[in-house]
Structure 1
């Protein structure tokens, strides 16, 4: 069976896209899935560097941690993005694809191959503007924005190629730092927009210092016990968010191959 492809994409930076992609890949690998990952951001290489740091820690300290097969795409190597994704997917159950915070041909190809497209956004109207323009007085959606149109085109390309659909998931990150009225307005606008352009909304990861602290060693929230570090209350809460995020993706059952739950 072909590897299930999860693409993390958002043209706006600072949404926690790469952090979410890494944690998703490692969490699925920890559950016994054969996970591969590819970083299409040849400049920042956050996902690639994160997993390289992880491999270096495992070698240096002799610890055994789940580690997805991974690479950072290099267009100068002369390989097409399709061929590199296919090569990584060949021996995997799941391929996680992290994209740069910009629009380019490689990102569009990746989205058009996605089974699940994850768009993390900070819970604000600034980020919401990426996918829908909001009336400043009523806070109602005026019309979908350019990114929604890009996804629409990618979905049409996927349907034309093999008849499959792209499950678009909008991930609401950093919920806790907004006052309640603004949260309600953003939630209402997202609910309205989701019906118009066809995406699901699930909760993501809160803003926590721990994510920035873990990066240099390539660790995730799931690894603290393996390295002998006790988890504080913030870590426990963050792990709960991660579990909820993975459940919200509604990935196929690895044993039965059933489609995503309704």
Structure 2
């Protein structure tokens, strides 16, 4: 792993609104890191939906069925109740991992808040709309200027203060714009401008995420990703574009880098 890094890098995907592509993004990040040769663990805190856990279970089944050596994070799912179990699983997964990817529920959740205070990188995926923007900030209905941060931004602000007080570390908060559309240019521009205003005010970075593509849903039953091109045939132009989106997203996250070249096993 990169020189000078002595502890597991904690990446928390958190958004109290569902339907933002949070779990899909978390899985792709975990597998992309594993494809670099990193030791990666994933912790799914959503015991109801369990999307990340199911995705990786499907991947493990594909590996067992086909005998293919795919990059594979270790993973567990929390029961959503036990504080002791959370701490035990968290410690076990983090102990031997270069990265621990934590996927939180799309709702207010005690363990999601706890995880946020431990994040080195906190990723909040959002769709390109003011419906999703409302989670982190409010805008004037006429001018679309930001009027104030929303409750969730204040929650992250508090998490940063807790983290700084506990060990002096900072949390790199990244707002990830998923499912960007190439239509409704006026709406995209307004959302982008509002995000820029709020980013300066509360301190987060903005990066592009994954587009709205059928391929992401089609790969779920086999637990495959865009990095596994050899395992689902030749890629069309849309698949190539999706793979490039993933590359750009990983670059934007600016995580500590392993020494093995990106996507070496893909």
CA drift at 1:79 = 2.8
Q: Which has the higher contact order (CA 8 A, sep 6+)?
A: 2
Residues 1:231 and 2:235 are matched in the alignment: yes
Question: C-alpha separation between the residues in 2 aligned to 1:218 and 1:72?
Answer: 16
The answer to whether the aligner puts 1:206 opposite 2:211 as a matched pair is yes
Q: Does 1:216 align with 2:221?
A: yes
Change in CA separation of 1:77 and 1:138 when aligned onto 2, cut-off 3 Å: closer
**Equivalent in 66, 70, 78 of residue 65 of structure 1:** 70
**Conserved 8 A contact 2:15-2:107:** yes
**2:42 alignment partner, SS class:** strand
In structure 2, the residue matched to 1:3 is 8
Q: How far apart, in 1, do the equivalents of 2:242 and 2:119 lie?
A: 27
Quote the residue 2:100 is aligned against.
Answer: 95
Determine the C-alpha separation between the residues in 1 that align with 2:192 and 2:58: 36
Contact 2:40-2:74 at 8 Å conserved across structures:
yes
List runs of 5+ in structure 1 lacking aligned partners.
Answer: 256-262
Contact 2:46 2:80 in 1 (8 A): no
Find the aligned partners of 1:228 and 1:44 in 2 and give their Cα distance.
26
Map of 2:257 onto structure 1: 253
**Given the superposition, is the C-alpha separation of residues 212 and 229 from structure 1 closer, same or farther in structure 2, using an over 3 Å criterion?**
same
Cα distance in 2 between the residues matched to 1:215 and 1:253: 27
Matched, 1:151 2:156: yes
Query: Which runs of structure 2 are paired with 1:41-190 in the superposition (5 Å)?
Result: 41-75=46-80, 79-190=84-195
TM-score, normalised with respect to structure 2: 0.93
Structure 1 residues 87 and 184, CA gap change in structure 2 (3 angstroms): same
Q: Distance in 1 between matches of 2:218 and 2:257?
A: 33
**Residue deviations 1:67-92, cap 9 Å, x none?**
00101112456734233212101000
TM-score by length of structure 1 reads 0.94
> SS at the partner of 1:13?
coil
Cα distance in 2 for partners of 1:91, 1:170 equals 28
Q: Residue 260 of structure 1 aligns with which residue?
A: none
Counterpart-to-counterpart distance in 2, 1:34 and 1:218: 18
Residues 149 and 237 of structure 1: CA distance in aligned 2, closer, same or farther (over 3 Å): same
What is the CA deviation profile of residues 185-235 of structure 1, one whole-angstrom value per residue up to 9, with x for unaligned ones?
10000000000000000000100000110001101011121x251111111
> Which 10-residue stretch deviates more, 79-88 or 42-51?
79-88
In structure 2, list runs of 5 or more residues that go unmatched: 1-5, 260-266
Aligned length: 254
1:174 CA drift (Å): 1.0
Aligned Cα root-mean-square deviation (Å): 1.2
For 2:264, the equivalent position in structure 1 comes to: none
- SS class of match (1:15): coil
